[in-house]
């Protein structure tokens, strides 16, 4: 079983690197050089996603957008299971099941751009929700759920919901 698994795993990696990732990069609104999206990742709304240079998003990353944009700066990295969602669902329509509501039913405030600055490190299992701006040079700890802007620059955030834990600057 070990040899067969390694052969299949190698074939899967080659497929991702040679076929899937190049096609995905072409579908982004913008995509810099040296962008890597980890295995088993999911992207929806690629035409509204803007990737900088030297970006590594770990395995099982999920980027979901419809009308709003997701902008990821230069030199950004994440651990596995990053989730970035630029939209929300309406909960005020009570005469229909929420599951039946479509993108056309949304209000403008249901979708808001997500902007991740340059030199940002997001740990494993980070979730970033609609309307969030992450300042340059920040760290977001593993498992954090980010519901508001991450500032100032060089700050360290973590928790559910995420809050400022400190600074990368000494002194």
Q: What is the spatial distance between Cα 117 and Cα 163, in angstroms, rounded to a whole number?
A: 18
d(C-alpha 57, C-alpha 78), whole Å: 5
pLDDT in tens, the chain (171 residues): 566 556 555 555 666 666 666 777 788 999 999 998 998 999 999 999 999 999 999 999 999 998 999 999 999 999 999 999 999 988 999 999 988 988 888 898 999 999 999 999 999 999 999 999 999 999 999 999 999 999 999 999 999 999 999 999 986
Q: What are phi and psi of 90, to 5 degrees?
A: -75, 140
Beta pairing partners, 85: 64
By DSSP bridging, strand 30-31 and strand 49-51 are parallel
Name the residue with tokens 């299992």.
125
Establish whether 89 is a catalytic residue: yes
pLDDT at 66: 87
CB distance 115 to 97 below 8 Å: no
Cα separation of the two ends of the chain: 54
**Domain edges within the chain:** 2-167
Instruction: Report how far residue 169's alpha carbon sits from residue 133's, in angstroms, rounded to the nearest whole number.
Output: 20
Q: Which CATH class is domain 2-167?
A: mainly beta
Q: Which helix (H) or strand (E) holds 41?
A: none
- Which residue of the set 33, 40, 89, 133 is catalytic? 89
Q: What's the pLDDT at 102?
A: 87
Q: Are 75 and 54 in contact (CB under 8 A)?
A: yes
Preceding peptide of 36 cis, ω within 30°: no
**Rounded to whole angstroms, how far apart are CA atoms 122 and 150?**
12
User: What does each C-alpha distance from 55 to 5, 120, 121, 146 come to in angstroms?
Assistant: 29, 10, 10, 20
């Amino acid at each position: 079983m070990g040899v067969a698994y390694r052969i299949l795993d190698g074939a899967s990696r080659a497929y991702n690197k040679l076929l899937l990732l190049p096609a995905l990069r072409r579908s982004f609104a913008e995509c810099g050089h040296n962008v890597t999206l980890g295995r088993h990742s999911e992207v929806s709304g690629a035409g509204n996603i803007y990737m900088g240079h030297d970006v590594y998003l770990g395995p099982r990353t999920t980027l979901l957008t419809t009308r709003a944009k997701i902008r990821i700066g230069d030199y950004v990295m994440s651990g596995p299971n990053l989730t970035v969602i630029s939209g929300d669902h309406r909960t005020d329509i009570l005469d229909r099941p929420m599951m039946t509501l479509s993108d056309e039913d949304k209000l403008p405030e249901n979708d808001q751009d997500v902007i991740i600055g340059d030199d940002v490190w997001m740990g494993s299992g980070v979730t970033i929700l609609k309307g969030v701006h992450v300042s340059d040079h920040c760290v977001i700890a593993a498992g954090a759920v980010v519901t508001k802007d991450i500032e100032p620059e060089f700050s360290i955030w973590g928790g559910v919901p995420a809050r400022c834990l400190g600074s990368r600057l000494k002194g």
